[in-house]
Structure 1
């Protein structure tokens, strides 16, 4: 009988203690959570873009891979809106070891229009085999 009471008491305490911790954690997550896609080999892709008042745009693209034995290739494309499609105005590329953030920042003067940056990351293994390709976009800016 004592075993049964002890087991019920432990189950009761576990159920209510876990619920209160989860509720507290959930409350914090509702206010601060950011949804990020999970990739298989790519640990992060970072697009960034701005245009100053003189028309000088600054495009940044960076990415990293989980495994430092892999190579990550980053392509940054400055794109301009052409009606319902986007055309590449300028592009830059960089590559490096996967275990670190590999990125490039470049300036380019733009004319009036709507622009964004597309960052494409590709991860290759030690034998040169393509493992994953993913793209991310910056917010759109109209100049």
Structure 2
């Protein structure tokens, strides 16, 4: 029961802390102040999440969605551990969805002491399977 409550809390936190993304309407990506801001063309939603419990159980979440009904969204959540000045891949989970539905994946993995993050990568494919866009976002780092 405690585990179910924790999973529900992680999902709620993930949904509440969503990073909004906007499609490029053909205009330049420079705002009036001259600052360049990212805008995704096919991805409408991309969110990574990570929590590590006192037992060492890491719950990793990745969620993504596209704008168009006929396209497929594939999301990958990759648990990474800090190794000095680089990051090493520990475990990967993948899910997909069609249309504007959210592709969401959640995985669990027991970790040893260290610093971790989740990299959520969204890929959008058209109806013929052609890759249209790939973007990645990282969760905040968590030290266990």
**TM superposition score category, shorter chain reference:** 0.7 to 0.9
C-alpha RMSD over aligned residues: 1.4
Instruction: Report whether the alignment pairs 1:60 with 2:61.
Output: yes
- 1:40-62 CA-to-partner distances (Å, cap 9, x unmatched) read 00001010100011100000000
Higher-helix-fraction structure: 1
Aligned to 2:125: 124
TM, length-normalised to structure 1: 0.74
SS at structure 2 position matched to 1:39: coil
Higher-Rg structure is 1
**SS of equivalent residue, structure 1 residue 139:** coil
TM-score by length of 2: 0.73
Corresponding pairs, count: 110
Residue 77 of structure 1 pairs with residue 78 of structure 2 = yes
Q: Which residue of 2 aligns with 1:98?
A: 99
Provide the residue aligned with 1:6 in structure 2: none
Aligned to 2:108: 107
Structure 1 segments unaligned to the other structure (5+ residues): 1-33
Q: Distance in 2 between matches of 1:75 and 1:92?
A: 6
Deviation at 1:68, TM superposition (A): 1.4
What runs of 5+ residues in structure 2 fail to find an aligned partner? 1-18, 22-37
Question: Which residue number in structure 1 is paired with residue 24 of structure 2?
Answer: none
